Structure 1
Amino acid sequence: MRPIKKVYDNILETIGHTPMIRLNEIVKDFPCEVLAKVEYFNPGNSVKDRMALQMIENAEKEGKLKPGGTIIECTSGNTGMGLALAAIVKGYKLICTLSDKQSKEKMDVLRAMGAELYVCPTNVPPEHPDSYYSVADRLHKEIPNSYYPYQYDNPGNAQAHYDSTGPEIWEQTEGRITHFVVGVGTGGTISGVGKYLKEKNPDIQIWGIDSYGSVFKKYHETGEFDEKEIYSYITEGIGEDILPKNVDFDVIDYFEKVSDKDGALATRELAKKEGLFLGYSCGSAFQGLRQLKDRLKPEDVVVVLFHDHGSRYVGKVFNDDWMRDRGFLTTENSTAGDLVRAHEHLPLVSVQPDEVIAQAIQKMQKHSISQIPVMKDGKQVGSLDDSRLFQAMIEDPGLAEKFVESIMEAPFPEVAPDADVKSVAKLINKDNSAVLVRLNSGALHIITKQDLISALS
Structure 2
Amino acid sequence: MQLPSPDELKQKRIDLGLTQSDLAKRAGVSQPLIARIEAGDVDPRLSTLRKIIDVFNDIEKEDIYLRDIMNRELISVDPNESIDKAVSIMEKYNISQIPVIKDGISVGSISEEMIVRSMANKKASEVSHMKIGDIMGDSFPTLSPGTDVKTASYMLEKHPAVLVLEKGQVAGVVTKYDILKLLSE
| Range class of TM-score, shorter chain | 0.5 to 0.7
Once the two structures are TM-superposed, the CA of residue 413 in structure 1 deviates from its matched residue by 0.9
Give the 3-state SS of the residue equivalent to 1:380 in structure 2: strand
Gaps of 5+ in 1: 1-330
Superposed, 1:54-453 pairs within 5 Å as 332-340=62-70, 343-344=71-72, 346=73, 348-397=74-123, 398-430=126-158, 432-439=159-166, 444-453=171-180
Amino acid at match of 1:406: D
Higher Cα radius of gyration:
1
Name the amino acid aligned to 1:420.
D
SS of 1:446's partner is strand
Quote how far apart the aligned CAs of 1:373 are: 0.9
Change (3 A) 1:424 1:411: same
Q: 1:388 to 1:453 in 2, by over 3 A?
A: farther
Deviations 1:89-125 (A, max 9, x none): xxxxxxxxxxxxxxxxxxxxxxxxxxxxxxxxxxxxx
Runs of 4 or more, structure 1, over 3 Å off, are 439-443
Q: Say which structure, 1 or 2, has more relative contact order (CA 8 Å, 6+ apart).
A: 2
Runs of 5+ unmatched residues, structure 2: 1-60
Higher helix share: 2
User: How far off is 1:434 after superposition?
Assistant: 0.7
* Conservation of the 8 A alpha-carbon contact between 2:114 and 2:135: no
Distance between the aligned counterparts of 1:396 and 1:363, measured in 2? 22
Name the structure 1 match of 2:182: 455
CA contact (8 A) 1:382 1:409 kept: yes
Relative to structure 1, the CA distance from residue 377 to residue 442 in structure 2 (aligned partners, 3 Å threshold; closer, same or farther) is closer
CA distance in 2, matches of 1:387, 1:449: 17
Q: Deviation of residue 450 (structure 1)?
A: 1.3
Name the % identity: 34
Conserved? CA contact 2:164–2:174, under 8 Å? yes
- Structure 1 CA distance for aligned equivalents of residues 119 and 109 of structure 2: 16
How many correspondences in the alignment?
122
The one-letter amino acid of 1:364's match is M
Would the aligned equivalents of 1:356 and 1:401 in 2 still touch at CA under 8 Å?
yes
CA RMSD of aligned residues (A): 2.5
Q: Distance in 2 between matches of 1:384 and 1:433?
A: 11
